Amino acid sequence: MNALSGVGVGSGIAAAKMLKMPDPLAPPSDEPLAADVESEHQRVQQALQLVADELNARAAAVGGEAQQVLEAAALMAQDPAILDDVRSRLESGSNAERATWDAYGSFRDMLTAMGGYMAERATDLEDVAQRVVARLRGVSAPGVPQSDEPFILIARDLAPADTATLDLEKTLALVTEDGGPTSHTAILARSKSLPAVVGVVGILGAASDGQLAVVDAKAGTVVLDPDAEAVATAGAEREVRLAAASAPITDGALADGTKVPLMANVGSAKDAPGAVELGAEGVGLFRTEFLFLGASSAPSIEEQTKAYTEVLQAFPGKKVVVRVLDAGADKPLAFLNDAHEENPALGLRGIRALRASEQVLRDQLTALAAAQAATDAELHVMAPMIADHEEAAYFVALGKELGLTSVGAMAEVPSIAVLADQVFEAADFVSIGTNDLTQYTMAADRQLGTVARFQDPWHPAVLRLVKLIGDAGARAGKSVGVCGEAAADPALAVVLVGLGATSLSMSASAIADVRAELLTVTLDEAKERAARALTANSAAEAREAAAG
């Protein structure tokens, strides 16, 4: 047994054979054509046909949006203009691989020059070219491997295009050499509830196709050639997880009946029905900036009222926590701040950017108040990146002036934890954004793979800050939510409750696992686990200590 570690994403465990995603092909050589043009042209024609058939077959199997992407790619493989171009290149002395590669290359350059939608298709063309050349070369095609057996996918990282063709029925876990907890792979793993370990340095060299492995997202490990006992344990844990996913939907609670509402993080009204179906008891974080990423001017009050009303209507009588626009760093909004900053994560962002454009903030609060009046949902509004009492008091006063009833602060900047007592004097509630709280506590950019191992909310420094907020919330008799990704990790969710979180909000797909885990502990047990994690020396030790 040989174990490699990285950053575990989400939860779950899987034992299966590994399949590696092949690296992109090396460009073909410039060797002149050694065979006759006619037979080489036929060989290319056959390769194109096989690739088109394969893409069409996969399109029919996957359905939905991915089907259209794959069918379009199949059409690209069958384009007669490509075959004509290949012929003239063969006639000029290029070998078959080079002729095909260059024919697609010039087609791709043409699309890129057209810009817009056509330019976006250039990447798909690149993928088709790689597949055809792989056929001619007799090697595995790049891209997501296909298998009739369940497998663990090993890749350098996954691009959005790869995820469209990933067969989720067969993919039991994802492991990447690069990437951090906010990479595309991590987002996919969370949204599909797949166990994943990212940033596993050395996995591409160590793993081979068909080799058995156990991927444990909770521990952040990939065990190669596991023994029979490890495989059996993984199988049993997987069964428990599957059972949790199909267990009846109940409100979030601990084993002793302590209520812990489980809410969903959403980015638009279209996320709402899915969240309700998965048992979300409300919305713990509505990221309103997702509606306006890419907008060049501030949205109108009417436009915003409509968008907020749609989300609130999906949760009659339920709590919906809306975050006002969180501009900056990973979520740029040009109309709030388009100045170049050396360190945007430490720049004019969150509440600071809104304060600098107060009319935008006033308009948003006005739209929220209108949506509150038009629906039966229980609206709570919070501001991102509040650093102290003064900022909290400013935001709460403005929210109340504009007609809102419950106005709070997000805890993402470590100073707010240190000053939690003061902040609760102003704010009606606090919701902890563990993604940014971890980034700022550990001084590790949440988007940077090289520092991914520091981006771990299990770190006792982060947990101690959560406890400061939890304790202050309890003293003030106010609610303390957690809406960062940490809430989606079932073992950590228990610890967060033990530290004083009164509700948890996460991607709706994570709710079933968290619900099942909470039901296994009493509040006293959650507090004991939290106490053990707080005294650990590292994130890894905190995980182990909490597990007991």
Size of the site for ligand PEP (CB under 6 A): 10
434 scored as a contact of ligand PEP (CB under 6 A): yes
503 scored as a contact of ligand PEP (CB under 6 A): no
Binding range to ligand PEP, per CB under 6 A, among 38-46, 124-132, 311-319, 429-437:
429-437
Partner residues linked to 429 by β-bridges: 479
Give CA–CA dist 520/497, Å, rounded: 13
180 scored as a contact of ligand PEP (CB under 6 A): no
The answer to whether the beta carbons of residues 481 and 505 sit under 8 Å apart is yes
Min CB(414)–ligand PEP separation in Å: 12
The residue among 151 and 286 lying less far from ligand PEP, judged by its C-beta, is: 286
The answer to whether the beta carbons of residues 105 and 39 sit under 8 Å apart is no
Mapped onto helix, strand or coil, the DSSP state of residue 250 is coil
| DSSP one-letter code for 119 | H
The answer to whether the beta carbons of residues 265 and 287 sit under 8 Å apart is yes
State the DSSP H helix or E strand holding residue 9, giving kind and residue range, or none if neither. Answer: strand 7-9
Neighbour count for residue 231 (Cβ, 10 Å): 16
The residue among 484 and 498 lying less far from Mg ion, judged by its C-beta, is: 484
Determine which residue in the list 8, 142, 399, 484 makes contact with ligand PEP, applying CB under 6 A.
484
433 scored as a contact of Mg ion (CB under 5 A): yes
Name the phi and psi angles at 214, rounded to 5: -120, 125
With CB atoms as reference, the residue minimizing the distance to Mg ion is 436
Considering only residues 279 to 298 of the shown chain, the ones binding ligand PEP according to CB under 6 A are 285, 287
Residue with tokens 């709590």: 319
| DSSP one-letter code for 291 | G
Give CA–CA dist 455/441, Å, rounded: 9
Residue with tokens 């054979």: 17
Size of the site for Mg ion (CB under 5 A): 3
In the list ligand PEP, Mg ion, none, the entry touching 470 (Cβ below 5 to 8 angstroms by class) is: none
The residue among 121 and 190 lying less far from ligand PEP, judged by its C-beta, is: 190
Determine which residue in the list 271, 436, 456, 489 makes contact with Mg ion, applying CB under 5 A.
436
The residue among 5 and 431 lying less far from ligand PEP, judged by its C-beta, is: 431
DSSP alpha helix (H) spans, 286-413 = 301-313, 350-356, 358-374, 389-401
In the list Mg ion, ligand PEP, none, the entry touching 484 (Cβ below 5 to 8 angstroms by class) is: ligand PEP
Name the phi and psi angles at 283, rounded to 5: -115, 125
Min CB(226)–Mg ion separation in Å: 37
Task: Name the percent of the chain in helix, strand, coil, to the closest 5.
Answer: 50, 15, 35
Choosing from 184, 340, 380, 389, which is the catalytic residue? 184
Structure tokens at 463: 């947990």
Determine which residue in the list 10, 28, 279, 433 makes contact with ligand PEP, applying CB under 6 A.
433
Min CB(524)–ligand PEP separation in Å: 28
Min CB(330)–ligand PEP separation in Å: 7
Give CA–CA dist 453/6, Å, rounded: 7
Choosing from 380, 389, 459, 483, which is the catalytic residue? 483
**In terms of Cα–Cα distance, which of 514, 491, 12, 512 is closest to 237?**
12
Strand order in the sheet with 196-198: 2-5, 221-224, 212-216, 13-20, 151-155, 171-176, 196-198, 7-9
Structure tokens at 396: 């709460």
Min CB(13)–ligand PEP separation in Å: 25
Considering only residues 344 to 373 of the shown chain, the ones binding ligand PEP according to CB under 6 A are none
Binding range to Mg ion, per CB under 5 A, among 9-17, 361-369, 391-399, 436-444:
436-444
436 scored as a contact of ligand PEP (CB under 6 A): yes
Min CB(384)–Mg ion separation in Å: 6
| DSSP one-letter code for 522 | -
Is residue 184 annotated as part of the catalytic site, yes or no?
yes
Mapped onto helix, strand or coil, the DSSP state of residue 125 is helix
Binding range to ligand PEP, per CB under 6 A, among 23-31, 220-228, 300-308, 428-436:
428-436
In the list ligand PEP, Mg ion, none, the entry touching 157 (Cβ below 5 to 8 angstroms by class) is: none
Considering only residues 396 to 415 of the shown chain, the ones binding ligand PEP according to CB under 6 A are 412
In the list ligand PEP, Mg ion, none, the entry touching 285 (Cβ below 5 to 8 angstroms by class) is: ligand PEP
State the DSSP H helix or E strand holding residue 214, giving kind and residue range, or none if neither. Answer: strand 212-216
Binding range to ligand PEP, per CB under 6 A, among 222-230, 296-304, 340-348, 433-441:
433-441
Determine which residue in the list 69, 152, 483, 510 makes contact with ligand PEP, applying CB under 6 A.
483
**N-terminal to C-terminal alpha carbon distance within the chain:** 24
Mapped onto helix, strand or coil, the DSSP state of residue 411 is strand
Q: Residues of 380-405 as b/e, b for ≥16 C-beta within 10 angstroms?
A: bbbbbbbbbbebbbbbbebbeebebe
The answer to whether the beta carbons of residues 182 and 203 sit under 8 Å apart is no
Min CB(433)–ligand PEP separation in Å: 3
230 scored as a contact of ligand PEP (CB under 6 A): no
Site string for Mg ion, 409-428 (x = CB under 5 A): ---x----------------
The residue among 370 and 386 lying less far from Mg ion, judged by its C-beta, is: 386
179 scored as a contact of Mg ion (CB under 5 A): no
Applying CB under 5 A, which residues contact Mg ion?
Answer: 412, 433, 436
Q: Which positions are catalytic? A: 184, 483
Applying CB under 6 A, which residues contact ligand PEP?
Answer: 285, 287, 326, 412, 433-436, 483-484
